[in-house]
Amino acid sequence: MSRPSETPHIDVRYIRDEDLPEWTRAWSTGYLRPAVEGAADHMRLALSDDRAIGAFDKGRCVGTYRSSSQELTVPGGARLPVSAVSKVSVAGTHRRRGLLNRMLDLDLLDARRRGEPAVVLDAAQYAIYGRYGFGPATQMAWFEIDVHRAGLHRQQSGDRPDIELVGADEYFKSAPEAYERFRADQHGALRRDTRWWREATGRNVGPGSTWTEPFYAVHLDEAGDVDGIMCFSAQERWGAMLPQSPLQVRDLVALGPSAERALLRYAVSMDWVSTVHLPFRAPDTLAPHWLGDPRAARITALSDFMWLRILDVPQALSARTYATEGAVVLQVDDPLGVAHGRWLLEGGARGGMVSVTSRSADIRLGVQHLSSLYLGDEAATRLAELGQVEELRPGALRRADALFRTGRRPWSPRAVTGDHYGQAGLG
């Protein structure tokens, strides 16, 4: 359960409206962003339905933390209610004194009390969250496409009659609906609410933001319905009469391979563009294969992305489906206590049943490793080779992998929200 406090004189609590200017200032400083006028009012709107925690030392805010209700698509298509954590910071003057421990303990136990079976976050640093029971649950690949090597001829019209360049208003109307259909089938995807789309289309630009107006494209299926969306920006750049313009795909979501192929080819065959930056893709994306030469798409980063922490083992594991029919007994260790225990998982194509059991365990693992297995991206066999999971019955690791792993990998798409390529605007 919660650890003894090393800083009893510092008040860690949910914030009130009057704390917002001080809380916003502390968060900006922690995220290396200059304090700007009007930021607290903008933050007030952003936090309207959320839970924000602050650490206060004699009235001065020295720690920030926020969580909000989210929905996570799990294998099989169910939407798991989860808590999403962001805006985690502790002032440089107060680091390594256990303030993050205190804010996380408060929020995780409250999330459990609220009945949220899991918590997700995008970790700015790999080393922080494992100790709290979070494990990396999805990965992300960044690509740089060399247009001249891609082997697509600019004269080819290909799928282009199906693509329309639209204005922000039209995109704001049609993109959310397309995304809703997309996330129903994509395990790892999170909900994007109206506020998200307002930000993504420049309708809710905060003070100090690096927002520049992008271009918006949609792909239409045979019935004329939007089945793919792409938001991108480009910079006009020349070198001695040779065009060298980079194009940055800020967001690309497609409901099927043909929409993805068409949108990607559209981006790669644009006049004056020499490089296409394609961030935040699924690690098993088909994107390179839509080019004449897949090697033209170079992976510039492959990284863990969304981290997950299971709080309620039966609720989380019974929400997803499993690749085979089978059973496994998991001995789960959880220092916070909430996921601790010996659990019998009986899984199959229609879902899972989870119960406390007195049977001997097949596998022993920490909750952070169970959380990494949850969406199907990690293998128990691999974690055992890393010494992180213990096989107690021969063959149990292979059985667990056959149950948990998924054909396509989970993906939690993000969009570039500012001018910085590769930056999703963490937190």
Ligand X SMILES: CC(C)(COP(=O)(O)OP(=O)(O)OC[C@H]1O[C@@H](n2cnc3c(N)ncnc32)[C@H](O)[C@@H]1OP(=O)(O)O)[C@@H](O)C(=O)NCCC(=O)NCCS
Give the residue from 364, 369, 368 showing the smallest Cα distance to 390: 364
Query: Looking at 98, 130, 228, 413, which residue binds ligand X (CB under 6 A)?
Result: 98
Nearer to ligand X, 105 or 199 (CB): 105
Is 124 near ligand X (CB under 6 A)?
yes
**Mode of pairing for the β-strands spanning 226-234 and 215-220:** antiparallel
Is 9 near ligand X (CB under 6 A)?
no
Is 160 near ligand X (CB under 6 A)?
no
Nearer to ligand X, 129 or 172 (CB): 129
CB of 371 to ligand X, least distance (A): 16
Nearer to ligand X, 134 or 404 (CB): 134
Query: Looking at 48, 125, 155, 358, which residue binds ligand X (CB under 6 A)?
Result: 125
Nearer to ligand X, 219 or 369 (CB): 369
Phi-psi region of 288 (alpha: psi -120 to 50; beta: other; left: phi over 0): alpha
CB proximity list for 196: less than 8 A, separation 6 or greater: none
Query: Looking at 20, 72, 100, 380, which residue binds ligand X (CB under 6 A)?
Result: 100
Is 1 near ligand X (CB under 6 A)?
no
First to last CA, the chain: 26
Query: Looking at 36, 128, 220, 270, which residue binds ligand X (CB under 6 A)?
Result: 128
Residues that contact ligand X, how many (by CB under 6 A): 18
Nearer to ligand X, 125 or 157 (CB): 125
> Within 101-120, which residues bind ligand X (CB under 6 A)?
101
Is 127 near ligand X (CB under 6 A)?
yes
Give the residue from 411, 119, 86 showing the smallest Cα distance to 279: 411
Is 376 near ligand X (CB under 6 A)?
no
Is 214 near ligand X (CB under 6 A)?
no
Is 131 near ligand X (CB under 6 A)?
yes
Torsion of CA 414, 31, 207, 235, to 10 degrees: -50
Evaluate whether 364 touches 390 at the Cβ level (below 8 Å). Answer: yes
> Within 11-70, which residues bind ligand X (CB under 6 A)?
30
Distance CA 278, CA 87 (A): 25
CB proximity list for 66: less than 8 A, separation 6 or greater: 47, 50, 51, 52, 53, 85, 86, 87, 88, 427
Instruction: Tell me the β-bridge partners of 266.
Output: none
Query: Looking at 12, 40, 47, 88, which residue binds ligand X (CB under 6 A)?
Result: 88
Write out the DSSP string of 41-61. HHHHHHTTTSEEEEEEETTEE
Is 186 near ligand X (CB under 6 A)?
no
Is 427 near ligand X (CB under 6 A)?
yes
* Residues that bind ligand X in the complex, under the rule CB under 6 A: 30, 88-90, 95-101, 123-125, 127-128, 131, 427
